[in-house]
């Protein structure tokens, strides 16, 4: 079909748009892996820091976040392997990918320069999690992810008001409800 020479009827235009959304939804549903990988990694790191701060005198409990390094390597390998399997990439797939890349870059920047805010970056990162999570829910038309985004906004806001050790507990709870529950529901919807 030559798109330049043919005129679409409104119904055909709607069909093309619906097809693109469904393709993006199919590709994004395969991303449940990322929600589960990052969900479990971040929950474990936050709970680890909370326990170490609360019950030990470990000098640097924040090293628990080193768990994100192997998780990032796993995510990259998984992404490269799966990108070869995707037959059609829609514009929504690209937009979603770059929203998450932008989020990752922001997290990296906050970690690198965290000392300038006394390492109190958890409320910022949890609040930032809301945007790509919520938008992924919008793209997929998947309410659990939209609700996950809202959870991140609420817990991020509350975290600004909480003592530092409680911030890690709040972050773990937010990630559980914001990534893990939607991730498992997304995985279930894939089948």
pLDDT digits (tens, 9 = 90+) for 24-44: 555 555 789 999 999 999 999
**Running DSSP on this structure, what letter comes out for residue 80?**
H
Q: Is residue 115 part of a domain?
A: yes
**pTM of the full predicted structure?**
0.82
Element (H, E) at 145: helix 143-160
Q: Is the pLDDT of residue 4 over 60?
A: no
**Running DSSP on this structure, what letter comes out for residue 57?**
-
Mean of pLDDT values over 76-99:
80
Instruction: Give percent of the chain with pLDDT exceeding 90.
Output: 58
- Residue 24: Cβ within 10 Å count: 22
Q: Is residue 53 part of a domain?
A: yes
Please tell me the distance from the alpha carbon of residue 120 to that of residue 87, in angstroms, as a whole number.
42
Range of the domain at 101: 23-190
Q: Which long-range contacts (CB under 8 A, 24 or more apart) does 66-72 make?
A: 67/41, 68/41, 68/42, 71/37, 71/38, 71/41
pLDDT in tens, 99-119: 999 999 999 898 889 888 877
Q: Is residue 182 part of a domain?
A: yes
Split into its structural domains, the chain has a count of 1
């Amino acid at each position: 079909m030559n798109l330049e020479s043919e005129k679409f009827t409104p119904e055909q235009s709607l069909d093309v748009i619906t097809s693109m959304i469904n393709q993006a939804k199919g590709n994004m549903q395969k991303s449940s892996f990322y929600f589960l990988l990052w969900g479990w990694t971040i929950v474990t790191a936050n709970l680890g820091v909370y326990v170490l701060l609360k019950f030990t005198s470990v000098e640097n409990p924040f090293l628990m976040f080193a768990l994100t390094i192997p998780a990032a390597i796993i995510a990259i390998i998984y992404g490269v392997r799966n990108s070869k399997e995707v037959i059609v990439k829609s514009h929504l797939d690209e937009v979603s990918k770059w929203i998450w890349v932008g989020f990752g870059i922001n997290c990296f920047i906050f970690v690198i320069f965290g000392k300038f805010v006394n390492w109190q970056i958890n409320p910022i990162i949890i609040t930032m999690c809301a945007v790509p999570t919520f938008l992924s829910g919008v793209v997929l038309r998947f309410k659990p992810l939209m609700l996950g985004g809202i959870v991140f906004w609420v817990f991020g806001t509350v975290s600004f008001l909480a003592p530092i050790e409680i911030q890690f507990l709040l972050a773990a709870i937010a990630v559980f409800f914001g990534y893990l529950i939607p991730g498992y529901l997304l995985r279930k919807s894939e089948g």
